[in-house]
Amino acid sequence: MALATPTAPASTADGPDELAAFRADTRAWLQAHCPPEMRQPMTSEDDVCWGGRHVKFSSPAQQQWLQAMAGRGWTVPTWPVAYGGAGLSSLQAKVLLQEMRALNCRSPLSSFGIWMLGPALLKFGNEAQKLDHLPKIARGEIRWCQGYSEPNAGSDLASLATRAEDHGDHFTVNGQKIWTSYADQADWIFCLVRTDTSHKHNGISFVLFDMASAGVSTRPILLISGKSPFCETFFDNVRVDKCNLVGTLNAGWDVAKYLLAHEREMIGSIGDRAAAKPIGQQAAAAIGKDTSGRLADPLLRAQIAEFEADEAAFRLTMERAGDLARAKQAHPAMSSMLKYYGAELNKRRWELMMAIYGSDALEWDSERSKHGDTARTWLRTKANSIEGGTSEVQLNIVSKRILELPGA
Ligand SMILES: Cc1cc2nc3c(=O)[nH]c(=O)nc-3n(C[C@H](O)[C@H](O)[C@H](O)COP(=O)(O)OP(=O)(O)OC[C@H]3O[C@@H](n4cnc5c(N)ncnc54)[C@H](O)[C@@H]3O)c2cc1C
């Protein structure tokens, strides 16, 4: 869900009859074009399609599904047609999502380009940048990474020190980023650089460059889960042509904040996107039922019921936030609230999954535990309350900007 992505204006297409016809067409098209394999819940990271120059599809069905959806502009349904979207209104996009959910269709493409850079380019990019980058994002041809955090600039991001020196028609970038997710697999990076050392926030610019440029190198960071999804990223005299500056020189902080709001919405909806089987069903399959057909473990039953009620309430809250955004009444700090609660909810989901599968899930390398899949995902969720801004920082934002509590 992208709450504040610029969308096509509400039109007659949003009338009740038109929406009903759109729903019927959409359902028929999805039934005809979504391969049966793409209607199964995702069970591992291999099921996620990230696209990119060096994409390796896990199956012909995954490739076919991406091509079908991209061909219709439905990987980015609300983006204008000229930029690879379908120009749908946000109500039509909601119908599309509902119909995809009803058929259990997987998301055809996971992409930092779609979730983060695209919305920022639509708002701050010039026409040449939009035409160059957005269609490739929509088709999954270029994979992006995010160069924000540095060893001494995380929560206090505006302390970043990576320098971009002006050489007339280009910049030369030097410095280091850290925690750059998938930097070693990305084709391009959107990156915050310091272009003026005399101002903290007003000395930052937002630039784009190819990760294959001379002077870019990455070093993977190994995680507790045994995986290594992110890297340290180093820039040594990297040439960045000025046409790759997004927005105004030294005003990159505005682009950065706008993009962060989209990142936070994306992380907030992480449990929702997983499109896994409902947790109660998974528990029943693993633990069994009592004579009256209820989950055999009464303690777990109560915890799952509480979780599912909170999850349903959160889903409604996200819908409400989407409706408010469409009506241009959303609070600008709403993304912090959604990010905080969505991250905590996803952590709870995986605590419950560990309780359901018990000590079997802790086996790191066995067929029975699918090579520790549940435990690895459980460990990964610990990072949900850090990535995209920590829970503490989100709570600070909610207290100051939404609740208007006095600062410390
Ligand atoms: C899985 C994952 C993926 C990531 N991917 C990327 C990526 O692709 N690109 C990228 O640029 N970055 C990425 N990050 C980095 C992420 O944005 C930072 O980790 C995050 O912003 C926190 O910064 P930090 O790690 O430097 O922690 P710090 O800022 O040093 O914070 C340390 C602790 O102090 C607390 N704290 C700090 N300031 C305050 C305050 N004012 N009030 C209360 N508590 C505070 C924090 O909550 C935290 O508990 C990723 C991180 C993770 C975990």
Give CA–CA dist 115/335, Å, rounded. Answer: 13
Q: How far does the centroid of ligand 1 lie from the alpha carbon of residue 260, in Å?
A: 13
Nearest-CA residue for ligand 1 atom 32 is: 155
* Digit-coded pLDDT (tens) for 219-233: 999 877 677 888 999
3: confidence class by pLDDT, cuts 50, 70, 90? very low
Please give the share of the chain, as a percent, with pLDDT higher than 70: 95
Nearest-CA residue for ligand 1 atom 40 is: 393
pLDDT over 70 at 5, yes or no: no
* Digit-coded pLDDT (tens) for 163-215: 999 999 999 999 999 999 999 999 999 999 999 999 999 999 999 999 999 99
Strand partners, 45: none
For residue 379 and ligand 1, the question of a CB distance below 6 A is answered with no
The radius of gyration of the chain's CA atoms, rounded to the nearest angstrom, is 22
> Considering Cα of 334, then 336, then 337, then 341, what sign does the dihedral take?
positive
Q: Rounded mean pLDDT of 250-261? A: 96
How many Cα atoms sit within 13 Å of 235 on the Cβ side? 29
Which residues contact residue 309 at a Cβ distance below 8 angstroms, ignoring those fewer than 6 apart?
none
Q: What 3-state DSSP class applies to 178?
A: strand
pLDDT over 60 at 10, yes or no: no
Strand partners, 241: 170
For residue 146 and ligand 1, the question of a CB distance below 6 A is answered with yes
Q: How many CB atoms lie within 10 A of CB 228?
A: 13
Strands 230-241 and 188-194: unpaired
| Helical (H) or strand (E) element with 172 | strand 170-181
Give CA–CA dist 308/360, Å, rounded. Answer: 24
pLDDT over 80 at 1, yes or no: no
Cα-based distances in Å from 244 to 162, 201, 308, 394, 405: 16, 20, 45, 31, 40
For residue 149 and ligand 1, the question of a CB distance below 6 A is answered with yes
Contact 113, 126 (CB under 8 A): no
Contact 38, 106 (CB under 8 A): yes
For residue 225 and ligand 1, the question of a CB distance below 6 A is answered with no
Give CA–CA dist 208/147, Å, rounded. Answer: 10
Apex 122 CA angle, 29 and 72, nearest 5 = 15
Q: At what angle do helices 60-71 and 16-33 cross, to 10 degrees?
A: 150
Testing ligand 1's pocket by substitution, the residue of 143, 150, 155, 233 carrying the most ligand atoms inside 8 A of its CB is 155
Q: For tokens 């309350």, what's the residue?
A: 385
Contact 2, 81 (CB under 8 A): no
Q: How many CB atoms lie within 10 A of CB 251?
A: 18
Testing ligand 1's pocket by substitution, the residue of 111, 116, 179 carrying the most ligand atoms inside 8 A of its CB is 179
Q: Rounded mean pLDDT of 264-283? A: 75
pLDDT of residue 4: 42
pLDDT of residue 6: 45
pLDDT over 80 at 306, yes or no: yes
Which residues contact residue 60 at a Cβ distance below 8 angstroms, ignoring those fewer than 6 apart?
none
For residue 65 and ligand 1, the question of a CB distance below 6 A is answered with no
Atom nearest to 183 CA in ligand 1: 8
How is residue 219 written in tokens? 């070093």
Q: Rounded mean pLDDT of 20-41? A: 96
Specify burial of residue 76 (Cβ count, 10 A radius: 0-12, 13-18, 19+). Answer: buried
Q: For tokens 């990159």, what's the residue?
A: 252
Nearest-CA residue for ligand 1 atom 23 is: 154
265: confidence class by pLDDT, cuts 50, 70, 90? confident
pLDDT of residue 274: 47
Nearest-CA residue for ligand 1 atom 24 is: 154
Nearest-CA residue for ligand 1 atom 2 is: 387
With residues binned 3-state (H G I as helix, E B as strand, rest as coil), the percentages for the chain, rounded to 5, are 50, 15, 35
Q: Which of 322, 330, 342 lies closest to 388, judged by CA?
A: 342
Cα-based distances in Å from 109 to 7, 154, 192: 19, 28, 25
pTM of the model: 0.91
Q: Where are the alpha helices (DSSP H) in 72-203?
A: 90-102, 112, 118-124, 127-138
Q: How far does the centroid of ligand 1 lie from the alpha carbon of residue 368, in Å?
A: 35
pLDDT of residue 92: 95
Testing ligand 1's pocket by substitution, the residue of 189, 233, 393 carrying the most ligand atoms inside 8 A of its CB is 393
Q: How far does the centroid of ligand 1 lie from the alpha carbon of residue 282, in Å?
A: 33
For residue 392 and ligand 1, the question of a CB distance below 6 A is answered with yes
342-367 in b/e form (b: 16+ CB < 10 A) is bbbbbbbbbebbbbbbeeebebeeee
For residue 381 and ligand 1, the question of a CB distance below 6 A is answered with no
Q: How far does the centroid of ligand 1 lie from the alpha carbon of residue 85, in Å?
A: 33
For residue 155 and ligand 1, the question of a CB distance below 6 A is answered with yes
76 backbone dihedrals φ, ψ, rounded to 5°: -135, 70
* Digit-coded pLDDT (tens) for 110-153: 999 999 999 999 999 999 999 999 999 999 999 999 999 999 99
Give CA–CA dist 178/231, Å, rounded. Answer: 6
